[in-house]
Amino acid sequence: MLFNKVLIANRGEIAVRIIHACRTLGISTVTVYSTADKDAVHTMMGDEAYEIGPPSPLESYLCIEKIIEVAKKSGADAIHPGYGFLAENPNFASACAANKIAFIGPSAEAILLMGNKVESRKKMVSVGVPLIPGMKDEGKSLAEFVKAADEAGYPVLIKAAAGGGGKGMRVVNEPADLETAVEGAKREAKSAFGDDTVYLEKYIVDPRHIEFQVMADSHGNVVHVFERECSIQRRHQKIVEETPSTAVTDELRIEMGKAAVEVTKAADYVGAGTIEFLLDKSGKFYFLEMNTRIQVEHPVTEEVTGVDLVAEQIRIASGYELSDHFKNLTQRGHSIECRIYAEDASNNFMPSIGKILLYREPTGPGVRVDSGVRQGSEVGIDYDPIMAKLVVWGEDRETACARMIKALKEYKILGLRHSVKYLSDIIAHPKFVSGETYTDFIERNFSDWDDGASELLETAVGAAAIAGANYRPAGNQSGAGDASVFDPWRETGNWQIGESVK
């Protein structure tokens, strides 16, 4: 039996996405909201909505007690955590279980295992999934470094344990340079972090971030739903994702997919999960981590396979076996997602706050928008600044790119800064077009990005002046509205539904 009522412990676009899945399955929805989200899209969209506290996430969306209390009060039999907030919190999964509420996600044990880097890596080694070769601990003597470098294979990377920002980091291409590099990295680490601990790992040339979607039911069925490439990142956060990856061949897909399924089985995993790998230029791949939640970028997988991953998560949590679609999966065409953030791409991706004064989503064949905002929405300081995800599908990558650029140009969000033009320039960039998408794509190609405003400045100024000359603020009219706007209600005369007025 499917659940009757699902509580959605999240906000924004993912809360809206989960409501869509519940409605498709005929399940009623309960939303929770902080006082900052009183008028938010997700708050207004669910069948029931409960306020759970002030804007600060710790006192609302992260407050386990309050959410469990609403679930009991509203009679919800399951909770979907979305992504972020409580999605990968084992205590929340346990609290749900203790209160006999189904948690739409994996067990607390699986979350705990995958949340622990050391334990999860040990587990991966035991099932033969490759990790980035290198030292387990700090290197003490030069001999240790030489041995580790030989085992990992050159080039290798010397990294500061306290590291960050490239300080205390050295790439070594051949054995002769190892000693100098270790010494240099230690000195740099000492002066930058006050700690000269360095270690060695294999240097991955032109790495790509490739992840595999997996789905597992409680009856022992595990499948992978192909890959997503998420190499385009800024501030270590993905902004463009696509599937299939231009770097994954049919053979590699089989091999990586098999590894992803192994990882899932080894973790006794149930639900939707994502196995993240780093893929190097030669086609070797290394396990990074497993995300035990639905991912932001799940729609691209849905677009090329035709499945509804969120609905399937709910079915699996209700105890169903994987649907038949998952037994004969194929990839059809190509899909790309762009994350639409409220941020200033020309100023170090500084988040932008404000009210969306005008909002218009793109349309047309192969265009999908998963959004959590509308015209009039306020984007505040309390939460992640993602407003929406623009997803396109095309019969091939070229078509998908063309549709994405077209859709981005049509996307109108006025009132705050956003990344739409930046994203459009990424998709149009020759290196993106040719599929040379490595994790340093943004640093390599967009460090001196120019938004192209100078060419269009006069057109923009002209439009601003036209708006100023014609602008009539709402509610500032005397009499019965603006006579220049056609209003059909003024044309109808006296009438009454169903009969004529006597």
Partner 1 sequence: MNYEFKYKDEVVSVDLTDGKIASFNDGEKQLQFEFRSEGRIYLRDGNMAKEVCAVIDGDKTFVDIDGLLFEFAVPSEDASGSGEGGLASDPSRLFAPMPGKIVKLLVEIGDTVSDKLQVVIVEAMKMENIVIAKASGTVKAINFAEGDQCDIETPLIELELADD
Binding site for partner 1 (CB under 8 A): 235, 348-351, 353, 355, 357-358, 360, 381-385, 408-409, 411-415, 417-418, 420-421, 424, 451-453, 456-471
142 versus 350: smaller Cβ distance to partner 1: 350
Strand partners, 32: 50
- At which residue do the structure tokens 């029931």 appear? 48
Closest distance between partner 1 and the C-beta of residue 240, in Å? 15
According to DSSP, the β-strands at 5-8 and 28-34 are parallel
CB of residue 78 vs partner 1: minimum separation in angstroms? 27
Nearer to partner 1, 184 or 380 (CB): 380
> What is each CA distance from 63 to 32, 34, 69, 235, in whole angstroms?
11, 11, 10, 28
Minimum CB–partner distance for residue 33 and partner 1 (Å): 18
Largest CA distance in the chain: 103
In whole angstroms, what is the distance from residue 440 CA to residue 234 CA? Answer: 9
CB of 329 to partner 1, least distance (A): 34
Q: 273 pairs with which residues across the strands? A: 214
What three-state secondary structure class fits 468?
Answer: helix
Reduce the secondary structure of 4-71 to three states and give it as a string: CEEEECCCHHHHHHHHHHHHHCCCEEEEEEEHHHCCCHHHHHCCEEEEEECCCHHHCCCCHHHHHHHH
State the nearest-atom distance from the C-beta of 462 to partner 1, in Å: 3
Q: How far is the CB of 262 from partner 1 (least distance, A)?
A: 33
Return the number of the residue (125 or 453) whose C-beta is nearest partner 1.
453
Whether the CB-CB separation of 260 and 215 falls below 8 Å is answered with no
Which residues are known to be catalytic? 293
Please give the Cα distance from 481 to 281 (Å, whole number): 64
Residue 54 or 435 with smaller CB distance to partner 1: 54
> CA 136, 139, 144: angle at the middle one, nearest 5?
95
Give the containing element (helix H, strand E) for 483: none
- Paired residues of 159 in beta bridges: 199
Of the pair 201, 361, the CB lying nearest partner 1 is at 361
Looking at beta carbons only, is 69 or 382 nearer to partner 1? 382
Tokens (6 digits) for 139? 């290197």
CB of 191 to partner 1, least distance (A): 16
Q: Tell me how far apart the terminal alpha carbons of the chain are, to the nearest angstrom.
A: 55
> In the complex, what is the shortest distance from the CB of residue 123 to partner 1, in angstroms, rounded to a whole number?
30
If you write DSSP's letter for every residue of 112-171 in order, what string do you get?
HHHH-HHHHHHHHHHTT-----B-SS---SHHHHHHHHHHH-SSEEEEETT-BTTBT-EE
- Nearest alpha-carbon partner for 18 in 34, 26, 29: 29
Q: Quote helix, strand, coil % in the chain, to nearest 5.
A: 35, 25, 40
DSSP 314-363: HHHHTTPPPPGGGGS----SEEEEEEEESEETTTTTEE--EE--EEE---
DSSP 204: P
- Smallest gap from Cβ 487 to partner 1, in A, equals 14
Measured from the CB atom, is 136 or 235 closer to partner 1?
235
- Judged by beta carbon, residue 358 or residue 433, the one nearer partner 1 is 358
- φ, ψ of residue 274 to 5 degrees: the values are -135, 130
CB nearer partner 1, residue 374 or residue 421: 421
